[in-house]
Amino acid sequence: MNRFQSEPLALNKSQIETMSETHRLQPGSKVDLSLLNTDGKRIHPDRQQAEAEFETLREELVTLQNRWYADGSRSLLVVFQAMDAGGKDGTIRRVFRGVNPQGVRVASFKAPSKKELSHDFLWRIHQQVPAKGMIGIFNRSHYEDVLVVRVDEIVPKPVWKSRYQSINDFEKMLTESGTTIIKFYLHISKSEQKKRFQARLDDATKQWKFARHDLEKRNQWDAYQEAYEEMLYRCSTEHAPWYIIPADQKWYRNLAISRVLVQTLRELNPQFPTPEDDLDKIDLD
């Protein structure tokens, strides 16, 4: 039994309505992931229209990122978490297509090395946070330290329990230093994961993506969902919100994520730096 299943869905009606549009999880809201939609078709029935809107937003993201880099006064951190085959790689590839690679850096977090394990869990993370002017993308993140680490009992419970607060404090410190943080949980159904695993098994160009331990994690589906629920509940904050994105349909997922990214950057409103004086008097020979 899921930890939150016995309780009513703690989001109230208006929160659910807001969420179904923005997918943003209000701070302090408990979620039951089994009740939250994974199917983009239920929100946006028109795939063609969604793809057209996505393309327009993608182009705007390219323009905004160019200004963000030129402005160079703040940084943006985008975190992706999902179950295996949840679509993190595909999202990064599709949503950020066309942005200037000099201004974007992807950090993928695998199981920590011996050296990384000899430090606190945020040590390796802090080294990868984006510098000013940059967009940093985390493909998995410090949240693994309250997910796989919890499910596989890699550290004792009091240790991972204390990490929610450490993460919130760390993210607060980053935001106070000029970093905007957006976190996306790509929410897929168990049956969609099965389809994607099968596609990986059937296609010689995708087989490299399949790992046997993915099946072990699939068998631990409920334990992972529970870990995700607590992570979302404890770590969706005003300064670093979680967005729960219905991700069974890639086209809807891409649209929903690019809407959030573009909206966030529009609000941050990056500006080209003021040019030096008297540029119009410069005479090039």
Q: Which residue in 89, 168, 223, 250 binds ligand ATP (CB under 6 A)?
A: 89
Q: Which residue in 27, 90, 103, 112 binds ligand ATP (CB under 6 A)?
A: 112
Q: Does 164 bind ligand ATP (CB under 6 A)?
A: no
Contact map string, positions 66 to 105, toward Mg ion, x by CB under 5 A: ------------------x---------------------
The long-range contacts involving 107-114, CB below 8 angstroms and separated by at least 24 positions, are: 107/136, 107/137, 107/138, 107/139, 108/139, 108/140, 109/138, 109/139, 109/140, 109/141, 109/142, 109/144, 110/140
Q: For Mg ion, give the closer residue by CB, 213 or 281.
A: 213
Q: Which residue in 32, 84, 226, 229 binds ligand ATP (CB under 6 A)?
A: 84
Q: Which residue in 52, 159, 199, 211 binds ligand ATP (CB under 6 A)?
A: 211
CB of 211 to ligand ATP, least distance (A): 5
Residue nearest to ligand ATP (CB): 144
Q: Which residue in 101, 102, 110, 219 binds ligand ATP (CB under 6 A)?
A: 110
- Cβ-based burial of 9 (10 A; exposed 0-12, middle 13-18, buried ≥19): middle
Tell the residue number behind the tokens 């969604």, with chain if given.
Answer: 50
Q: For Mg ion, give the closer residue by CB, 109 or 164.
A: 109
Task: Determine the size of the site formed for ligand ATP (CB under 6 A).
Answer: 15
User: Between 250-268 and 47-71, two packed helices, what is the crossing angle to 10 degrees?
Assistant: 30
Q: Does 144 bind ligand ATP (CB under 6 A)?
A: yes
CB of 265 to Mg ion, least distance (A): 29
> Within 13 Å of residue 9, how many CA atoms lie on the same side as its CB?
13
CB of 209 to ligand ATP, least distance (A): 5
Q: Where are the alpha helices (DSSP H) in the chain?
A: 13-22, 47-71, 88-95, 114-117, 123-126, 148-151, 157-161, 163-176, 190-202, 212-219, 221-235, 250-268
User: Between 88-95 and 250-268, two packed helices, what is the crossing angle to 10 degrees?
Assistant: 60
Residues 167, 125: Cα–Cα separation, whole Å: 11
Q: Which residue in 32, 145, 192, 226 binds ligand ATP (CB under 6 A)?
A: 145
Give the footprint of ligand ATP on this chain (CB under 6 A): 84, 88-89, 109-112, 139-140, 144-145, 148-149, 209, 211
Interacting residues with Mg ion (CB under 5 A)? 84
